[in-house]
Amino acid sequence: MGFNNGLERIRLENQWKKLRVQYRAAGMSDEAIQAMYEFDFQVVNSEQTYYRHTVDLSISNTEAGDSRDTKHYHEVILTTDTYHETKSHFAWIGEIEDERLLSALEKLSEDELRLLTLYAYEGYTEAEISKVFNISQPAIHKRIAKITIFLKKF
């Protein structure tokens, strides 16, 4: 099972709802509480980054002789890939193995890719993205739906 960024953020927010109340009751300032929250938020982000960039290469004695992770590692190493020029801010697109999906993603505008990166890759909610783009949450929802339809049709 992978690291679920959205779920981890929800857990962090739920935990911090309780902690804020406790810390205020203990007499801590809002600035100190916010500093502690930001530290915990950075920990969640660093855990996500660590998980995303770490491959377990431990070899277990399974019937086939290789662990699933090791097999996947060998597949990745031995796979020859077609070179694609991707937009520099969206390097994650280069990780896409499906050629049709990759070419569809490359046809999206920079704003659409930015929205897709925040929503699908980074795990931000529509409400959080609406603050980044400075537009309403329903407008973000419509844009995501439009991108989804475009990708399904491609």
Domain of residue 148, CATH code: 1.10.10.10
Q: Report pLDDT for 27.
A: 92
* Same-domain pairing of 95 and 149: yes
* Same-domain pairing of 146 and 106: yes
* Same-domain pairing of 146 and 89: yes
* Same-domain pairing of 89 and 149: yes
* Same-domain pairing of 119 and 149: yes
The mean of the pLDDT values for the chain is 77
pLDDT in tens, 15-33: 999 999 998 999 989 998 9
Q: How far is CA 116 from CA 19, 60, 145, 151, in A?
A: 32, 37, 11, 11
Cα–Cα distance measured from residue 106 to residue 7, given in angstroms and rounded to the nearest whole number: 28
The domain containing residue 92 runs over which residues?
Answer: 85-153
Cα–Cα distance measured from residue 18 to residue 39, given in angstroms and rounded to the nearest whole number: 16
Name the pLDDT band for 101 (thresholds 50, 70, 90): confident
Q: How far is CA 124 from CA 45, 64, 117, 119, in A?
A: 12, 39, 9, 5
pLDDT in tens, 84-94: 444 446 677 77
For the chain, the domain total comes to: 3
pTM above 0.85, yes or no: no
Q: What is the mean pLDDT of residues 56-72?
A: 51
The torsion angles phi and psi of 105, rounded to 5 degrees, stand at -65, -35
Higher pLDDT, 97 or 84: 97
* Same-domain pairing of 19 and 35: yes
Q: 124 exposed, middle or buried (CB, 10 Å; 0-12, 13-18, 19+)?
A: buried
Q: Which three-class secondary structure state does DSSP give residue 83?
A: coil
Q: Which three-class secondary structure state does DSSP give residue 34?
A: helix
* Same-domain pairing of 109 and 89: yes
Name the pLDDT band for 1 (thresholds 50, 70, 90): very low
* Same-domain pairing of 89 and 79: no
pLDDT exceeds 50 at position 121: yes
Residue 122 DSSP code: S
* Same-domain pairing of 98 and 60: no
* Same-domain pairing of 35 and 74: no
Higher pLDDT, 99 or 135: 135
Q: At what angle do helices 126-133 and 137-153 cross, to 10 degrees?
A: 100
* Same-domain pairing of 100 and 64: no
Name the pLDDT band for 95 (thresholds 50, 70, 90): confident
* Same-domain pairing of 111 and 140: yes
